Every structure is written in C-alpha cells, then in structure tokens.
C-alpha cells in the first residue's frame, strides 16, 4: 500500500474500533465506571498498570482492585491510614502483588497531596514533541517516597529504553478528545499530538506487516519509529491508530 492507501485502510479500522462497544472488552471499562475526575484518573492508572496478560483476567483483577478501594479510589488514596492498607493483603496479578498495590496507594497519595495530581505532573514536564521526559519525571515523583525496590518495575522508564506501553495507554485515555465515547479527554493542557503509541505485541506485529515499523524489539526506539510513521498520517492525533493496529492484531481482522 502507498501512503494514501495505508491511511484510508487504517482510518476505516479506527472508525470500526473507536466505538463505545470497544469498552466492554477492554480495561478502559474500569475508569468508565466512575464520574469524578480523580476517580477516573486513579482507576485508569491502576487498570493500565496491570494491563498485561489475558484481557479477561486484567478486567477481573482491575474490578477487584476497585472493590478493595471501596469503589471510591480517590477517597481511599487521599484519606487512607496505614491500617486501611491491610485489606489489600492477598491481591495479586501476575508479578504485581499486594505489596506493590499498597505502595501505589502511598505514592498516589503523595502525587495528589504534594504535586497537584497526575495531570499536573505530566503537564509540567511534557516535552515539545512527546511525553518521554514527562513519563520519566512522573516516575521520579512517584517513587520519591519510601518504597520497595521491587515495585519500581511496575512503572516504566523510557529513558532506559522501555516502550512504556501501559503509561502511554493511560495517557491516551486521559488526553485524547473525540466524540466517540471511549477515551476521556479529561486533560486539556497536553496536546494529543504529543502522545505515543501504546506499543504491544499486537500493534507491533501489524505495524511491521504494514512496513510502518522496521525495528524488531518493542522498545522506546520502536515507539519513536512508529510514532513518526503515525504522525505522517495524522500529526494532530497519531495515537488514534492504536485502535486500528491493536484491533486488527488482537481480533485477526485483516
């Protein structure tokens, strides 16, 4: 396909998958259960954090996280005391366990109490063209409180080469604005043009099949390469094509 044909093909796939029906089979359904801004942010961040593996398991365990937070994640984060964290005992999703969960609650409290919230941090440190530095700075602020070193693996560091798939997905949820009802578009001070593709095995495989991505590893260099290709198709909203690449890949929809 030439560039025009590729754009037309992917635009059709975006139109197909960027629909409210997409929500029911995707982890984005978790923050959609809330209406308060901070609840949406925290629910989205936690759901995105454990978004690897079987999708049904991701959704089931994300719902369990919300239950453990009394289905009021922001209130729990801001007002919890040490003894309240005991109710999180026993939670596990693959390598993310109850100790990681407790640490996330403590770190999120610090972000909201001392840094103005997640949006403020990402907005303050956004780059001219991307969110790479902002992701690193958010991670830095997130772990400035006492924490277990094991928990650091659950917040990606793009400066060390990570594709940061889950944080990029979370940022897509919070920043992208359209009338389709899937992404929230809550954050007004970050342009969707700066977002990066939440690169995973599905989107990476399809991007390579379409000759949009040459690099074999799914790392930050691959993200940057694919971002370049997607921005040529739509400079103002490149990550809308996440719907197309992921949808074609996971549903085998050629």
182, 19 Cβ separation under 8 angstroms: yes
Domain that holds residue 132: 3-250
In sequence order, the 6+-apart residues with CB closer than 8 A to the CB of 199 are 163, 165, 168, 218, 222, 223, 226
pLDDT in tens, the chain (254 residues): 899 999 999 999 999 999 999 999 999 999 999 999 999 999 999 999 999 989 999 999 999 999 999 999 999 999 999 999 999 999 999 999 999 999 999 999 999 999 999 999 999 999 999 999 999 999 999 999 999 999 999 999 999 999 999 999 999 999 999 999 999 999 999 999 999 999 999 999 999 999 999 999 999 999 999 999 999 999 999 999 999 999 999 887 77
Q: State the Cα–Cα distance between residues 203 and 197, nearest whole angstrom.
A: 9
Q: Which residues pair with 4 in a beta bridge?
A: none
Please give the tally of structural domains in the chain. Answer: 1
């Amino acid at each position: 396909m030439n560039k025009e044909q590729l754009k037309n093909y992917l635009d059709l796939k975006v139109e197909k998958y960027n629909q409210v029906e997409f929500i029911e089979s995707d982890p984005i359904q978790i923050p959609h259960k809330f209406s308060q801004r901070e609840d949406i942010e925290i629910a989205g961040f936690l759901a995105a954090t454990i978004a690897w593996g079987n999708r049904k398991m991701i959704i089931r365990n994300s719902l369990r996280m919300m239950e453990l937070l009394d289905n009021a994640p922001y209130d729990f984060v801001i007002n919890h005391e040490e003894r309240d964290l005991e109710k999180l005992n026993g939670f596990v999703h693959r390598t993310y366990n109850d100790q990681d969960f407790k640490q996330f609650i403590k770190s999120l409290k610090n972000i909201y109490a001392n840094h103005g919230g997640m949006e403020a941090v990402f907005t303050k440190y956004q780059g001219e063209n991307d969110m790479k530095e902002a992701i690193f700075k958010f991670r830095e602020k997130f772990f400035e409180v006492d924490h277990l070193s094991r928990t650091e693996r659950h917040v990606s560091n793009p400066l060390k080469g990570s594709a940061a798939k889950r944080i990029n997905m979370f940022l897509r949820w919070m920043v992208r604005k359209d009338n389709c009802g899937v992404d929230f578009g809550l954050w007004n001070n970050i342009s969707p043009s700066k977002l990066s593709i939440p690169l995973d095995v599905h989107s990476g495989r399809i991007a390579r099949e379409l000759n949009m991505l040459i690099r074999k590893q799914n790392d930050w260099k691959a993200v940057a390469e694919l971002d370049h290709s997607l921005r040529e198709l739509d400079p103002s909203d490149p990550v809308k094509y996440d719907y197309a690449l992921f949808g074609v890949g996971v549903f085998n929809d050629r």
